Structure 1
């Protein structure tokens, strides 16, 4: 029954559900524009006047993480490579701990709006300018891709008009960012994370009903080799292992949560450091829920299509289209639910794009305008709104450019991820090493970028062979094609003896460099750690040779033990233990005196 190729397209109710999601998002922007009409400072617009509380900020952090790529690509990743992807939950836990203990206290006590403002305070204006310009360029490029890529995937499966969806989501997102500022962004994120979870759950629950229960899905996944959680292979060339997902994933996500303006801007908008820390830990719960949902959705995808893979069969052209294909396949009997899933995917786009627009406006005002032009707060507030509008338009335009880039989309997304490693190394130098100077910082950043870009571009030109990526078996044995290329389903039993690994012979290509099967085949999750390590190592060496040991750094610009919650917890328990031991000693003395 699942798998009919004539899935049809959206009906009126689906469009209504999608439109309601956009209208509610826009209405939140209008509400906060009206509610804060008397507050005209840039602080109110860009960081909510630092009066936000932990719960909405934590949900906003979660929504910003949960882009359309998470909704569409992560289940497809599990479908192709197995549930080992779920080990990313360990990296999220480490990320929150590192961010809470290392980066959050430094940024919060400085009361800065832009993370790049820190670079001038710690190093010099040139370092700040380099970081700002780079952030603006990569964020506009990445945001255009985030708008266009899911729109293309959903258009080809659901029949929803491509540019109608791109422009409508871009316009609505730009509207509420321009009208309501950070408060509107945060509260629309809260609404959108609810929509995203509802979309996930609608597919998961319906899949469980179709397959006859959770145990059947787990059994199918086990027999298909998808429950490959514990792979401790130390080979760094393997795509997904325990080590690549935990170590590499931690570096990648610390570069997002620890230093990326879009995330930092949220938790420093909290009314206290305690609320900021709490928002991170509540957000961790949301991240773990998302991991469970994405992994189980991927297993549902496999269980339903275990005998006839729609991608291999040519029913979809890219793995990103598998989830919307599944939604249209199993939810079409309930009008409105396919629209809910598509609304969930676009909610992911809206949350990511709104975060980017607000962050771009913040860094432009704080890093490029304020240091050079003196203006009143009211005028800066209007400029912030104008910048939000301008960046929204640029991101929609970049989506148009992304449509012309074709195969470069994946390369651009990879490069965006690769940049985070060297930038993380730059901030790590400033926060953890008081003797790191501006010469070392810039040298480290350039070196890290050079190495990580070399590695990333090489990996795009010379992809890793299947022996390293290890895609799992996909079959079309249960497919019967008719003359009209439609697909009729049967349910033959899976072979009792089957290989879980798809082995594709690789021809020796003349001119393939020696590094292609080693250096360029490194797991993509290790690009960020390498960039960070190179940036820190070169930065420290150059700093030592250029008089870094003579540098006197203000204590509030580096991490001190008093900034760390773990230090205070350690002191608390140490004092309790000491007090207990002292009481025991006194009791022993009293007993001895009585005996005498």
Structure 2
């Protein structure tokens, strides 16, 4: 490591960064720390700030480290093939902007899973909320786990600090700047962190270019003439994990479920005054996201080209390439911007995830609402104080849960974090995809309970549990059963289809017709 960028120096940089975040938190939450501010920022968030912040939340530490590392690692997402997924995102964002956002705003939802209660029933509502909690807990833990590994390797480990302390410190810092303001604070901190993250990637490209003694046009030529420049993969057929059509369709589905059906991402959209602003946010965010991903893929290609030029051995875990080059081979300034970018990438995703988990549990399982005013001043004040205490307790509970899951991950080695994340999402988001698709595209009512003899079975719950298990088995044996075909990210579609078919089997076709419109007071 550069002598001027010691572990102590890096810790100082991190401390200064978090001092800024906590200062932002203080100014954004000092007047409002009630449920209305925590859940939806009083529905007053400015859409340009939300658009900037959502870029960082979407990219996260996974994109910051794993996408550049995957460029030259071979297999899924090799070279620039990940852009095929990113182009699929655009189709997904279009569906969110034109179908989901108008629906959520029309119903005035705080938690998007309240829609399931009105359209299908209370069991589907709880199942949908549960799968979000499970999905987001896994996703946020994966992302923080990745960053904690890097910090442990290059910063806290050399100082003799145990991995558990590294993880606990990271989560406590998130809690400190989110526990009061919630989404109101995160709109501002995520915008700041997105700027830091993109600036870090851009400056790293600049420093790599300096090391290679070339300018921007020279770097473009290097990438185009290298083995890493291929973007579209058509020739391999459906057995190729990088096949364009598989990647494009997967990108669209991933976007719909991991943004449009995800309380974390939709909570930011619902914090704006109206759905027109939310649509502007989605349009801006989706376009900028394309260029942001191109930047990270270009960075990955340049890192591999640089490693070949200087004879650097590629780490066995491709996720380690970026930190190895930035912290041990480039000038100290490159290491500083890498640390800032890494922390910003991790926390722009994790902070909103923790807030969304808290919001969903409070609204969907504890019955809290954004506004609770009856006109009785003393009773309202007492209830607001009691709800704030409960919310803080839930916030602490999910912080502990994230710590526990990350420590469990530490017992399992994983060198392709981005692929593991999306595969996990395929299993846990699949039932959500099936539930929402059934609600949006059919007019059928579902019998959530089925009586067999003297017993009533929670049939809908069983369907939503069986679909991910069957998907996991089919995905595991697909090569043998389907002549070499691998689902890849398309396991998400298969999972959702199984859920949809299960709901059809539970439908009451005798009452076929247009369902009653959802109640406007559902939120």
Same-fold call, TM cutoff 0.5: yes
Question: Per-residue displacement from partner, 1:157-211 (whole Å, max 9, x unpaired)?
Answer: 4566555543332111111110221111111101111110121112111112222
Q: Structure 1 CA distance, aligned partners of 2:311 and 2:505?
A: 53
Give the Cα–Cα distance (whole angstroms) in 1 for the partners of residues 464 and 177 of structure 2: 35
> 1:93-139 CA distances to partner (integer Å, 9 max, x unpaired)?
11210101111111111111112211111111111122222322333
Is 1:428 aligned to residue 394 of structure 2?
no
Instruction: After TM superposition, give the deviation of residue 370 of structure 1 in Å.
Output: 1.3
> Following TM superposition, by how much is the alpha carbon of 1:235 offset from its aligned partner in structure 2, in angstroms?
2.3
Out of 68, 74, 79, the residue aligned to residue 72 of structure 2 is: 79
2:55 matched to 1:62?
yes
The equivalent position to 1:117 in structure 2, one of 99, 111, 114, is: 114
Equivalent residue in structure 2 for 1:28, among 20, 24, 31: 24
Alignment check: 8 A CA contact 2:43 2:272 kept: yes
After superposition, where does 1:170-185 map in structure 2 within 5 Å? 170-185=171-186
Aligned in 2, Cα 1:306/1:422: closer, same or farther, shift over 3 Å?
farther
Separation in 2, partners of 1:384, 1:234: 51
Rounded Cα–Cα distance in structure 1 between residues aligned with 2:359 and 2:44: 17
- TM-aligned CA distance change 1:516 to 1:149, over 3 Å: farther
Residue 130 (structure 1) aligned to one of 127, 132, 145: 127
Equivalence map 1:132-147=2 (5 Å) = 132-147=129-144
Q: CA RMSD in A?
A: 2.9
Structure 2 residue 16 is the aligned partner of structure 1 residue 14: no
Q: In the TM superposition, what is the alpha-carbon distance from 1:417 to its structure 2 partner? A: 3.7
The structure 2 residue matched to 1:555, chosen from 506, 509, 517, is 517
Distance 1:130 1:316 in 2: 41
For 2:323 and 2:329, how far apart are their aligned partners in 1?
Answer: 10
Query: Is 1:449 equivalent to 2:458 in the alignment?
Result: no
Tell me which moved more, 407-416 or 185-194: 407-416
Q: Tell me the number of residue pairs that the alignment of Structure 1 and Structure 2 aligns.
A: 487
Partner of 2:503: 539
Q: CA deviation at 1:523?
A: 4.2
Matched, 1:384 2:386: no
Superposed displacement of residue 515, structure 1: 3.2
Shift of 1:54: 0.8
* TM-score with structure 1 setting the length: 0.75
SS in 2 for 1:52: coil
Deviations 1:19-65 (A, max 9, x none): 2221111222222231325xx3x222211111112111112221211
Task: Measure the CA separation in 1 of the matches of 2:412 and 2:186.
Answer: 29
Q: 1:408 to 1:201 in 2, by over 3 A?
A: closer
Match of 1:66, SS state, is helix
Distance 1:108 1:54 in 2: 15
Displacement of 1:259 after TM fit?
A: 0.5
In the other structure, the counterpart of 2:456 is none
CA distance in 2 between counterparts of 1:370 and 1:242 reads 44
Unaligned stretches of 5+ residues in structure 1: 1-5, 465-513, 559-596
Change (3 A) 1:214 1:455: farther
Q: TM-score, normalised by structure 2?
A: 0.85
Structure 2 Cα separation of the partners of residues 518 and 557 of structure 1? 48
Distance of aligned partners of 1:126 and 1:551 in 2 relative to their CA distance in 1, 3 Å threshold = farther
Give CA-to-partner distance per residue, 1:344-382, whole Å, 9 cap, x none.
Answer: 11212112111111111111111111189x982342233
SS of structure 1 residue aligned to 2:176: helix
Matching of residues 13-412 of structure 1 within 5 Å = 13-36=9-32, 40=34, 42-80=35-73, 81-157=78-154, 162-163=163-164, 165-211=166-212, 212-233=214-235, 235-306=237-308, 310=312, 313=313, 316-331=315-330, 333=331, 335-370=332-367, 376-407=383-414
Partner of 1:527: 491
Going from structure 1 to structure 2, the CA distance change for 1:23 and 1:457 (only over 3 Å counts) comes to farther
Rounded to whole Å, the distance in 2 between the matches of 1:194 and 1:409 is 26
What do residues 550-570 of structure 1 show as CA deviations (whole Å, max 9, x unaligned)?
354133589xxxxxxxxxxxx
Alignment correspondent of 2:379:
none
Alpha-carbon distance, 1:308 to partner: 6.8
